[in-house]
Structure 1
Amino acid sequence: MLDSHLPTLEELEVKLGGINGKRIIVRADLNVPLSDGKIDDDLRIRESGATLNWLCDRGASVVVCSHLGRPASDNDQEFSMKPVRERLLENFPNVEVLENLRFNNGEQKNGEDFVNYLISGAGGDPFDAYVNDAFGASHREHASIMGPPMHLPSAAGFLLLKEVRMVEKILNNPKRPFVIVLGGSKVSDKLSLIEKMSDVADEMLIGGGMCFTFLSAQGVSVGDSLLESEMLDVCVDLLNSDISIRLPLDFTAMGSDGQIGNPDIETQVRQYGSSIPESWMGLDIGPGSAVDFSDVIMEAGTVLWNGPMGVFEDPRFAAGTKTIAQAMSETSAFTFVGGGDSASAVNKFGLSDSINHVSTGGGATLELIEKGDLPGLKVLRESRIES
């Protein structure tokens, strides 16, 4: 059973005797995708707004910190927080934004010196409290996640609480039928999720690159499509288990010498019954499969979706993912998009507002579902108990 009992902002306000004038460090997850220094998708910035609004409205002096990408050095300007800071300051002009936490190698090492730097004021006046609103980073045992709650009065931000409670909703009391849609490249990346949800889900729909390992396990030729040969026996066992697994009936394939992102390369649709020929690779579920999956989604009570149906970044292989996203936006079911590429897809297609919950977490969402807890949540609860 997922434990969502975390210290709240309201409890923090009582503990501090009020928020006005207090200097508070907020660990947000502002790890947004950038292209040429411009923000491609600002979902995580927008989702941080509720917590920042609450604190600023009460007169707090707010300092926001986050990581951004994987910088190669301590001054990798490709991953500077400058564009994020500029966007954030449009709505919160009085908020201070620290530079990329990962510019200091103590962040990922959970180094004591860097923890001390953060809790002592990050170069400014000492902090009075800490707020974790970085759900998407709370599966990482990094300094900004693990250190401050052990030294400062701490609370979960509104986004963090919402994310945890949404996972709690689908795990503890899902409306039936409960359908899980899985995509992405590898079975190995989703195996723990499949095993965890096997007793909870009524049906699993499997697309994306991972479907070809399942199809190969059934004896279907998948040409040069992505295949995890070491997972074939696992897929055979899953297909022979009590889990109801639905696989694609057709797919969109490209010649193996083609280039993803080059629209001049010929594509064709191959039916499941005739398999994918040699020298061709499947890069999306076909239109028949997209309709088949959508029909299941439309009849569901709860739908969890994690992983795209194809290489949706290339418009030739985006139709399957787009059709699933549209079904998610139209069904009467409670719909949960599990972050990562799936969240990017529904945002790209302009459908996120029609879905009940689009998670800001990727790996954090999966780990919380699989394990029922995250390091960043556990340390917040311990902070609550010790205080």
Structure 2
Amino acid sequence: MKDYFTMDDFDLKGKRVLVRLDLNSPVNTETGEILDTSRFVAHLDTLKRLGESKVVIMAHQSRPGKKDFLTTKRHAEVLSRLLRRPVEYVDGLFESFVIEKIKSMKDGDMILLENTRFYSEDVVLADEPISIQRKSHIVKRLSPLFDYFINDAFAAIHRPQTTLVGFAEDLPNLAGVLMDKEITMLSKFLSDNTRPKYAILAGAKVDDSLKVAKNFLNKGIIDKIFTGGLVSNLFLLSKGVDIGKVNVEFLKKELGELDELLNICKELLSKYGDKIVLPEDLAIKKDGHRYEVEISELPVEDPIMDIGIGTVAKYKEMLKDSGAIILNGPMGVYEIEEFAIGTIEIFRAIADLDCFKVAGGGHTISVIAKLDLNRKFTHVSVGGGALINFLSGEEMPGLEALKLSKSKFSGVIK
């Protein structure tokens, strides 16, 4: 039995339901056009199951000070198009006219409220306990209007903001379809005893990868970590490999002060050196073209752009016996065709493996979609920071709120 409610636990027909989604998406700030609707699509299963309920949606877009900190009017239009049913935009959150609108709703009606981050309570109370958040105007004015609160915003589950966790003690909180699937699949990867279990940690978000690596290795969750991108460059540097001034400077530009990160790499290599797999060759950009160099040929004064063909072959051979694998990050600068080889070859090889396969992270999802590999993965996570925090074993306020709500409302049937 799960320690949180799901939508299967209650009959939601005819009920008034408050739903928190994560529709935060790239936007053309000149036209307001939403450029990527993948997060909208991810929530469709949850919304389709509420066809006979009175549904009020809360969501945020960007944050104060950003050019894409916009209203949710366009978001309502996108939802209407994808659901093929009206989703009305209401330009408020808890004002009197919003409350009257909610009270007048009929079964099957669906509205989207204003960007929650236009309201300071959704941001400034994030460090306060739920006992304080539930006293906010957002919770006090909205909670009496509803029978249930559904949190489907997995991509924001690591954030303790009022519209995500503040309703835990005032309404039964349910995990939406997406939320439940994310928690179930990621928990299965972490707890499943299938071996060998591997992780691909690559890309440019090195600090995130190191957090995950520490948790994986310290808890014995995985058997080997395969590295690529800036992650492998930093590990090589920490081993004393001179990767060249241009590449060290790029690491400093992207990551800031390197000493702390290098120390983490050294510590991990000293404890788990046999479990961390590094490239044996790399691809550099020389005179505008791809050239391959062995690690022994370093340093180079050309930018490292990809893992080499030898490393691709080595990784593919070692991954063949995978029982479970998680993929997070591209092998190199995949946006440039010449340097997408490592990423494409490794992603396709993993997709073809007959094992439990999980992938996540913005760039990872983008590559998987571009290569049309989604159906070959057991689960593709929509989480960015949420995924990293979950895999790092850090506290997930959204999940804790779901658990708290079940402990309070267990046995309640409305």
Which interval holds the TM-score relative to the shorter structure? Answer: 0.7 to 0.9
Q: Distance in 1 between matches of 2:271 and 2:355?
A: 26
Amino acid at match of 2:123: Q
Q: Which residue of 1 aligns with 2:91?
A: none
- Give 3-state SS (helix, strand or coil) of 2:386's partner: helix
More displaced, 155-164 or 32-41? Answer: 32-41
Q: Which of residues 22, 46, 49 is equivalent to 2:15?
A: 22
TM-superposed CA distance for 1:276, in Å, is 4.0
Matching of residue 161 in structure 1 with residue 180 in structure 2 = yes
Q: Which of residues 44, 50, 67 is equivalent to 2:39?
A: 44
Cα deviations by residue, 1:192-222 (Å, 9 ceiling, x for unpaired)? 2112111121111011112111111222221
Q: Which runs of 5+ in 1 are unaligned?
A: 14-18, 256-263
Contact kept? 2:208, 2:388, Cα under 8 Å: no
- Give 3-state SS (helix, strand or coil) of 1:241's partner: helix
Q: Which of residues 6, 10, 13 is equivalent to 2:8?
A: 10
Q: How does 1:1-387 map to 2 (within 5 A)?
A: 4-13=2-11, 19-35=12-28, 37-56=32-51, 59-72=52-65, 79-90=70-81, 91=83, 92-93=85-86, 94-110=109-125, 112=133, 115-117=136-138, 120-121=141-142, 126-198=145-217, 199-223=220-244, 224-225=246-247, 226-227=250-251, 228-242=258-272, 243-254=274-285, 265-278=288-301, 280-371=302-393, 373-387=395-409
Q: Kindly tell me: are residues 174 and 50 of structure 1, through their superposed partners in 2, closer, same or farther at Cα, counting changes over 3 Å?
A: farther
Q: TM-score, normalised by structure 1?
A: 0.86
Q: Distance in 2 between matches of 1:276 and 1:64?
A: 54
TM-superposed CA distance for 1:38, in Å, is 3.8
Q: Distance in 2 between matches of 1:97 and 1:343?
A: 27
Q: Distance in 1 between matches of 2:310 and 2:4?
A: 45
More displaced, 179-188 or 37-46? Answer: 37-46
Task: Quote the sequence identity (%).
Answer: 32
Contact kept? 1:69, 1:79, Cα under 8 Å: yes
- Count of residue correspondences: 365
Amino acid at match of 1:81: T
Contact kept? 1:6, 1:380, Cα under 8 Å: yes
RMSD value, Cα: 2.6
Q: TM-score, normalised by structure 2?
A: 0.80
More displaced, 280-289 or 132-141? Answer: 280-289
Q: Which runs of 5+ in 2 are unaligned?
A: 87-108, 127-132, 252-257, 410-414
Cα deviations by residue, 1:239-280 (Å, 9 ceiling, x for unpaired)? 23235111112222236xxxxxxxx944433332212412x2
Contact kept? 2:63, 2:69, Cα under 8 Å: no
Contact kept? 2:149, 2:171, Cα under 8 Å: yes
